[in-house]
Every structure is written in structure tokens, then in C-alpha cells.
Amino acid sequence: MTTDTGSAALRQAQIRRVRPEDAARMRALRLEMLADAPLAFLETLADAAARPHTEFAARVAYTSAGPTNAQFIADPGGRLVGHAGGTVAPNEPGLTVIYAVYVTPAWRGGGMLGELVDGVAAWSRACGRPELLLEVVVGNDRAYRAYQRLGFTDTGVRVPHPTIPALTELQMRRTA
């Protein structure tokens, strides 16, 4: 359970795997993610907003169970405030790739990032994958330092950004 002493009161959010009934709130969080950090995710806000709710609902249902894809959310009741996904690496059976990590700005700095990553890590271990990998845009020093604090190390591998040719991403790994 995340606690963050904001300006008014102690706030808490449950970190858990997404459920099918979270689809509408997950869609709202996804649109927020894309508006807040347009370079960090693999689609545009316009593309996501144009997708019908049924597509969001299908994705949430797919990632709510099973060993190959999962989404974890931070749920304080009401609007969702954090997300981290995990998926199997196609060529490394012992590896989970973490994707779409996001914490609503007002909730940053209170440990939620670590709890979301820990949710993915626990799921990864339960599925028999003892290692985690994520990619960070080169130059995103805030994210880089945050992941270092969570035990990720820079592998030295650099890859082209999948949608923006001018950007490069670096790979970081840690045990799950």
C-alpha cells in the first residue's frame, strides 16, 4: 500500500493486477499517460482517444489473467493513479519486459513506482521468470535515476526508439 503525505492528508492506493471491470478507469489513465508524457509510450493521444472503448476493455481483460501479459495499477478508489505492465520476452524465457510505467504527477515521490514494479516482479517470479528488463529514453535522467534506485542497472545496450527515429533507448535490468 502506497502512502504519500500530500498537502492535505495521508493518501493510500492499492497496487493490484488490473481486472476487467477496470476498463473505463484504465482508458482514462491511458489517456492521461499519453497527454502527460507523449514520448514515453508507443502511441499518440489522438490514436488512443480514437480507439473504441471495446478495444480498451478487450486489452484489460486479456492482461487481467494469465502468465504472458499483465498490467498492475495503483487504485486509491476513484481515478487510477499508476500503472506498470509486464510481458514475456519472446527470445528470453526467463525475462519479463516492463512497459508503460506511469505515476500520476500528484502521486510521484511517495514510493508508488517501486510498488508497481514490485507487483510486476512478483508476477514475473510466479511465472518462472527471474529477471526484469525495461527501456528508458536516453536523456530521461529522472526516470533513469528512479530505476537505478529500484535496483536496475544499465546494460550498455542502446536501441532505436520504436516510433521516434531521432530517439534512442537504453536497456536496464534487475532480478525480479
Mean pLDDT estimate for the chain: 91
Residue 63 in any domain: the answer is yes
Residue 10 in any domain: the answer is no
* Domain count along the chain: 1
Residue 116 in any domain: the answer is yes
Give the C-alpha separation, 106 to 115, whole Å: 16
Give the C-alpha separation, 24 to 43, whole Å: 18
Owning domain of residue 114: 15-175
Nearest to 96, CA basis, from 29, 33, 161, 175? 175
Residue 3 in any domain: the answer is no
Q: Determine the residue type at 108.
A: R
Residues 9-50: tens digit of each pLDDT: 347 999 999 999 999 999 999 999 999 988 788 888 999 999
pTM (two decimals): 0.90
Q: What is the pLDDT of residue 5?
A: 39
Q: Residue 103's domain is classified under what CATH number?
A: 3.40.630.30
Can you tell me the mean pLDDT for 123-149? 96
Residues 95-107: tens digit of each pLDDT: 999 999 999 999 9
Residues 57-87: tens digit of each pLDDT: 999 999 999 999 999 999 999 999 999 999 9
175 grid coordinates = 532480478
Residue 135 in any domain: the answer is yes
